[in-house]
């Protein structure tokens, strides 16, 4: 795995070195001995631009090294050349980084680019829709937030934690609209999932203190 990660990290330079060696072998000998060098070099160079180094981000994110993950993202100079599904993931990750920095306008721009390209899995698309809904909530655009979160729930979410978060956001929106019965229904759905994420558990406890006293 470490060897593969090193290959991804340096494949552009390895590919260029192989191409230069290929030219040298071709010049001093003939084409066919140089052909394997040309072939492997071209594959490595094209792989760098078409697939990018996104695999390297996984290790950084698992270790909570968001700075390292951002460095990998910023190393992609020509995202327009990335294979379409990978380009979608690239923009989604850029949006996530912007959200961490509370750059909500930048996050929305990147997330929309990712969604417009189409996500490789429906659950990933649902998660992106949920994030877009949360961004709209930050801007106090409840109508847009509701639209995004409903779409997220229809498309499906990757786990019960995301699903519970979506239901709690819908509960909050319904309460703001004074549609208390619907708000209580979304709250019950969130609680029934028994989420374990501390922020979500705390949010459920806070809502539980007053929701029973509401009409509906």
Tell me: the pLDDT tens digits for 78-133? 999 999 999 998 999 999 899 888 898 899 999 999 988 887 666 688 999 999 99
For 117, the 3-state DSSP assignment is helix
Strands of 130-191 (E only): list them: none
Q: C-alpha distances in angstroms, 187 versus 105, 140, 190?
A: 29, 20, 5
* pLDDT of amino acid 152: 94
Distance CA 174, CA 141 (A): 13
Q: What is the number of alpha carbons within 13 Å of residue 198 lying toward its C-beta?
A: 0
Distance CA 207, CA 184 (A): 10
The two tokens of residue 17 are 């070195």
Residue indicated by tokens 């996500």: 119
* Residues shown for the chain: 216
Residue indicated by tokens 């994030």: 131
Mean pLDDT, range 191-201, rounded to an integer: 93
The two tokens of residue 52 are 């990018």
Long-range contacts of 192-199 (CB under 8 A, 24+ apart): 193/160, 193/163, 193/164, 193/167, 194/160, 195/160, 195/161, 195/164, 195/165, 196/161, 197/161, 197/164, 197/165
Q: What pTM was estimated for this model as a whole?
A: 0.79
With a CB cutoff of 8 Å and minimum separation 6, the contacts of 134 are 145, 169
Tell me the per-residue pLDDT of 19-42, one tens digit each, with 9 for 90 and over: 999 999 999 999 999 999 999 999
Tell me the per-residue pLDDT of 168-179, one tens digit each, with 9 for 90 and over: 999 999 999 999
Dihedral over Cα of 119, 121, 126, 128: its sign: negative
């Amino acid at each position: 795995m470490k060897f593969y990660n090193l290959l991804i990290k340096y494949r552009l330079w390895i590919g260029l070195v192989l191409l230069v060696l290929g030219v040298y072998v071709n010049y001093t000998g003939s084409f066919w001995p140089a052909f394997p060098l040309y072939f492997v070099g071209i594959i490595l160079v094209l792989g760098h631009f078409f697939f990018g180094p996104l695999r390297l981000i996984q290790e950084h994110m698992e270790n909570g090294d968001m700075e390292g993950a951002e460095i990998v993202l910023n190393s992609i100079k020509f995202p327009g050349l990335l294979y379409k599904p990978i380009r979608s993931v690239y923009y989604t990750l850029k949006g996530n980084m912007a959200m961490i920095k509370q750059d909500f306008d930048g996050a929305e721009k990147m997330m929309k680019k990712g969604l417009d390209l189409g996500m490789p899995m429906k659950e990933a698309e649902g998660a992106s829709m949920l994030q877009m809904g949360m961004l709209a909530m930050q801007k106090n655009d409840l109508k847009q937030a509701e639209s995004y979160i409903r779409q997220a729930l229809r498309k499906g979410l990757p786990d019960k934690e995301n699903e519970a978060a979506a239901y709690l956001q819908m509960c909050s929106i319904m309460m703001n609209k004074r549609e208390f019965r619907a708000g209580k229904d979304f709250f019950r759905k969130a609680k029934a999932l028994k989420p374990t994420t501390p922020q979500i558990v705390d949010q459920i406890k806070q809502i539980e203190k007053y929701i029973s006293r509401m009409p509906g």
